[in-house]
């Protein structure tokens, strides 16, 4: 059984992309791969894929059906770490350091505690923008 193509990869957008981003990506790629502009033999097939992807992803109902039928795969960052996953090692390390500071120097504990909290929030509060 042949699986459906990944429409998000065809349009080169994130699965969480807004309709305006999808439309802009479609227009950019269509102007590049349209058979009237691009004389290569693959241009017609590429344009058919772009049209099919845009047809599904631009309609909210079709997009929801497509997303529900799409297999769930974990998205990876460029470094290879899963996106949306909290760095547990940082939390463990910070707890160990804070406990050691509390044991030996309470003044450093009062300074380092909020610093670790702020770093933790910064590491987890960043959202990817496209």
pLDDT at 79: 46
Token pair, residue 37, equals 């502009």
Tell me how far apart the alpha carbons of residues 8 and 122 are, in angstroms, rounded to a whole number.
Answer: 28
CA-to-CA separations, 7 to 1, 30, 128, in angstroms, rounded:
18, 14, 20
The SS3 call for residue 82 is: strand
Answer whether 89's CB lies under 8 Å from 97's CB: no
pLDDT at 53: 93
pLDDT at 48: 92
pLDDT at 85: 55
Sequence-separated (6 or more) residues with CB below 8 Å from residue 4: 66, 69
The whole-number mean pLDDT for each consecutive block of 10 residues of the chain, a chain of 130 residues, reads: 76 90 93 88 90 93 89 53 60 78 77 78 60
Residue positions counted in the chain = 130
The SS3 call for residue 22 is: helix
């Amino acid at each position: 059984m042949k699986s459906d193509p990944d429409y998000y990869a065809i349009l080169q957008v994130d699965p969480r992309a807004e309709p305006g981003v999808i439309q802009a990506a479609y227009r950019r790629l269509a102007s590049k791969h349209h058979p009237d502009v691009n004389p290569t033999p693959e241009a017609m097939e590429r344009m058919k894929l772009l049209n099919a992807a845009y047809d599904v992803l631009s309609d909210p109902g079709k997009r929801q059906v497509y997303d529900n039928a799409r297999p769930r795969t974990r998205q990876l960052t460029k470094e290879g770490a899963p996106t949306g996953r909290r760095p547990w090692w940082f939390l463990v390390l910070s707890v160990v350091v804070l406990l050691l500071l509390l044991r030996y120097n309470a003044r450093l504990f009062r300074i380092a505690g909020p610093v670790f909290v702020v770093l933790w929030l910064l590491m987890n509060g960043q959202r990817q923008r496209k």
